[in-house]
Structure formats: C-alpha cells, structure tokens
Amino acid sequence: MPQINAGDFRKGIKVTVDGQPFEMIECNFVKPGKGQALYKTRLRNLLTGTLLDNTYRSGDSLESADVRNADGLYSYFDGTNYIFMDNESFEQMELSADVCADQMKFIKEGAECGLLYWNDQLIGVTPPKHVELEVTYTEPAARGNTATNVTKPATVETGGEVQVPAFIEIGETIKIAAETGEYLGRA
C-alpha cells in the first residue's frame, strides 16, 4: 500500500494504524517555537467506531487503507444481519445489526445506500441524505398548542422515532434526515 506523508494529512483520508482501517476526522498543524512541526490527529476506527488521538512529526507517514465506496441497495433484515446488494457485482453482503443498527432505523427495504468496503469486506453503510416515511403512530395534537414550536414523538413505518410538529397526524408522509433522525418537513 502507498504511504501518506504527514504533510499530506487531511480530514477524510483513510489510513491503516496497527492493521485496522481509520478515517482521519480532524488534523491540526502545530508549529512549536523550536523543534519539528507536529500534526495532531483524531482518527475514527472504521470497524469499531472508537476514536484515537495521535500526534505525528513532520517526517512520519502512515499506510493508506484499502477502502472503497460503492453504491448498493438495502435488501432486508434477517433477524441478526442486514443484507445489502452491491449494484455493480449484484452480490449480496451482510452486516451485523450491532455495527449499523442506529443508521438503519429510518431506511426502508429497497432504499439506495452507500457501501464501504475494506479489503473487499463490507464494513459500513452510508444511508441516503433524506428519506420519506409514513407516520404509523403519534399522539393527537392538544388544542391550543399552536402558538410555539411544540413537537411530539412519532413512530414511522421502519420503527424509528422522530420528533415532529404538533400538526402531524397518523398516515402522513414526512421527510426525515436519515443520518440524524431530524424532521425536515411534509413530503
């Protein structure tokens, strides 16, 4: 694998540390009064999600991670694993529920999503920016609660819960930011 020099460290690059893939989520250049320049980095493990803070000198380098993105479809949930289909090879890949359960609470079967591979093994999923889902349950609005921005919890067809304005009723289709679970508006 090619080496990435400390001078080329940027937010978003994928590197290998101790045989594990990491994404650089923060990189700060520090030039002390004397001595070598330093690069203070924050890395997120792509397999476990843990954060790692490391400092590198200007002559250091890291190995580039063999990470690639692909387009795919969410097929179904078999009780323990989420099953995805790669749009290029049409292969079915599975990812355990504990790896991507939080990302999947607003994704319907058949939805387009991004797949993240490391050494040709599926390690992560990127949900679409926003989804349109039907509200399956919410409490009726209380009379007189329209003067301020009053919100209430609503359950959508995938089982996820989102805070919605008081005027939303059961059966309406709403637009949700899939990554954050934030209500964006009516569909």
Taking the C-alpha atoms of residue 155 and residue 73, their distance in angstroms, rounded to an integer, is 23
67-126 and 130-186 agree in CATH topology: yes
Cα separation, 64 vs 60, whole angstroms: 13
Q: Average pLDDT by consecutive 10-residue portion of the chain (187 residues)?
A: 87 90 92 88 87 91 90 90 91 85 84 89 87 91 67 90 89 90 88
Q: Could you tell me which CATH class the domain 67-126 is placed in? A: mainly beta
- Quote the pLDDT of residue 102: 76
Both tokens of 180, joined, read: 């954050």
Q: Where are the domains of the chain?
A: 3-64, 67-126, 130-186
Topology annotation, domain 130-186 = OB fold (Dihydrolipoamide Acetyltransferase, E2P) (2.40.50)
Q: Is residue 127 within 8 Å of 113, Cβ to Cβ? A: yes
Cα–Cα nearest to 72, from 22, 21, 20, 107: 107
Cα separation of the two ends of the chain: 46
pTM equals 0.74
Domain 3-64 has CATH 2.30.30.30: yes
Contact 176, 187 (CB under 8 A): no
